[in-house]
């Protein structure tokens, strides 16, 4: 019997998956894991360095393996990188899990991330690229989501509570 992840968080970069994930894990009394952190730990390089050195296809292959391992092993709250849902096999695996899509609009993204150069997919014209990424990904986030929780103008605590309520999960 493989582990069943308590909650999987998906959504765009900067939406607060890490912050909300840690709060959710604490409130549920389970562990927290972030697949982006796993990739950095295993590869010994930042995600931006992997993108620059090896290209996006190589990064996506690493990400797919990492996400599949984490879904099989981790029983707590799991945060996925913003593009993890691009892979059809990953989306199929998520079908059996409680998945929360944390959403936000572009203005909120600008406030939160500054849409800075450390985000490799947003290096040129960040607002336009963020909008295009979301147009390409929003339906995929919605496809895998058990619940959608808007984060605009909300504190991490409010988002965490709404995620718990949406999933009808009880705190530990």
Q: Which residues are annotated as a binding site?
A: 14-19, 36, 60, 82, 119, 137, 154
How do beta strands 7-10 and 77-79 pair? Answer: parallel
Binding-site residue set for ATP: 14-19, 119, 154
Q: Which two tokens stand for residue 98?
A: 């409680």
DSSP 8-class letter at 152: T
Sequence-separated (6 or more) residues with CB below 8 Å from residue 85 = 10, 91, 94, 137, 140, 141, 143, 144
Binding-site residue set for substrate: 36, 60, 82, 137
Binding-site residue set for Mg(2+): 18
Q: Which two tokens stand for residue 52?
A: 């620059």
> Distances from the Cα of 74 to the Cαs of 59, 71, 161, in angstroms?
21, 6, 22
**Separation between Cα atoms, residue 104 and residue 93, nearest integer Å:** 24
């Amino acid at each position: 019997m493989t582990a069943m992840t308590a909650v999987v968080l998906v959504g765009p970069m900067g939406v607060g998956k890490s912050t909300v994930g840690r709060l959710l894990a604490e409130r549920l009394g389970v562990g927290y894991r972030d697949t982006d952190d796993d990739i950095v730990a295993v590869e010994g390089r930042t995600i931006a360095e992997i993108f620059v050195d090896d290209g996006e296809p190589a990064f996506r292959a690493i990400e797919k393996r990492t996400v599949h391992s984490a879904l099989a092993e981790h029983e707590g709250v799991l945060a996925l990188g913003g593009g993890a849902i691009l892979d059809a096999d990953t989306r199929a695996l998520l079908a059996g899990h409680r998945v929360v899509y944390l959403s936000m609009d572009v203005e909120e993204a600008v406030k939160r991330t500054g849409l800075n150069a450390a985000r490799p997919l947003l290096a040129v014209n960040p607002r336009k690229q963020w909008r295009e990424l979301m147009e390409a990904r929003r339906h995929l986030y919605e496809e895998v989501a058990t619940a959608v929780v808007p984060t605009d103008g909300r504190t991490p605590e409010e988002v965490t509570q709404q995620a718990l309520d949406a999933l009808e999960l009880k705190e530990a």
